[in-house]
Amino acid sequence: MTDSIMIPAIAGDGSLYPIEKMQAHLDGQLHLAVSVFVFDGDLLLIQKRASTKYHCAGLWANTCCTHPHWDETVEDCAERRLSEELGFTVPLTRHQTVEYAADVGEGLKEHERVTLFSARVDRRTLHVEPVAGEVEEVCWIAPGQLARQVRERPEDFTPWFRIYLQRFPGLSFADAA
């Protein structure tokens, strides 16, 4: 299903403690995460998750997202995951931290405190190499087209991506990048 990776969970008093990633998802335990949004103008780079992912397989999501490893900073985590999923790194701007909970199917739950990151790039010079087993395909999409697709076929998009789009119409948090 997934390898045994320890990630930072958040206790009731706000302290962090290590928890196995799958256990966090089975229990719906609050844990740290990152989400990255890469833009070229108003176009957003989105990815279709690999069909072999343990949850939300084959669904469209933001540029990339993941959980920091235990004792990894959110900044290092965001940079690492861009490379691991899409084969590139770019300077990232850190934005606010948000929290959400969602059922992601197969008896798994996400309950995340997510630090959002963005980047501005020129897609003509950005070399995107989706990594097999992580990403099936990528697409640059305009806000209106994305909103229409999510409205018409919400089941094609991950729960967290739909939550971000609902909470941040136009993904305005990225304007500061």
Confidence of residue 129 (pLDDT cuts 50, 70, 90): very high
Among the four given CATH numbers 3.20.20.140, 3.90.79.10, 3.30.750.24, 3.40.50.300, the one describing domain 6-161: 3.90.79.10
Instruction: Please give the pLDDT value at position 68.
Output: 98
Which entry of 77, 79, 112, 136 is annotated as an active-site residue? 112
Confidence at 55, pLDDT banded by 50, 70, 90 = confident
127 marked among binding-site residues: no
Is 95 flagged in the annotation as binding? no
* CA distances (Å), origin 29, targets 113, 124, 145, 155: 11, 41, 34, 24
Per-residue pLDDT, averaged over 104-132, amounts to: 94
CA angle 63, 140, 53 (to 5 degrees): 40
Domain parsing of the chain, residue ranges: 6-161
85 in a known ligand binding site:
yes
Supply the pTM of this predicted model. Answer: 0.92
Task: Quote the Cα angle for 14-18-85, to 5°.
Answer: 105
Say which residue the tokens 């990633």 belong to: 21
Amino acid occupying residue 157: F
Q: Is 84 annotated as a binding residue?
A: no
pLDDT tens across 10-49, in order? 999 999 999 999 999 999 999 999 999 999 999 999 999 9
Q: How confident is the model at residue 54 (pLDDT cuts 50, 70, 90)?
A: confident
Among 56, 64, 65, 77, the active-site one is 65
- Residue 99 annotated among the catalytic residues of the structure: no
* Helix, strand, coil % in the chain, rounded to nearest 5: 30, 35, 35
Q: Which residue has the higher pLDDT, 18 or 175?
A: 18
Q: What is the pLDDT of residue 168?
A: 72
129 is annotated as contributing to ligand binding:
no
Average pLDDT value over all residues in the chain: 91
What is the reported pLDDT for 105? 86
Is 64 one of the catalytic residues? no
User: Taking 70 as the threshold, does the pLDDT of residue 177 lie above it?
Assistant: no
20 labelled ligand-binding: no
Please say if the pLDDT value at position 110 is more than 80. Answer: yes
Q: Quick check: 1 pLDDT over 80? A: no
Question: How many DSSP H helices and E strands does the chain contain?
Answer: 4, 9
In this predicted structure, the answer to whether residue 106 has a pLDDT above a threshold of 90 is no
Closest CA to 115 of 152, 54, 72, 157: 72
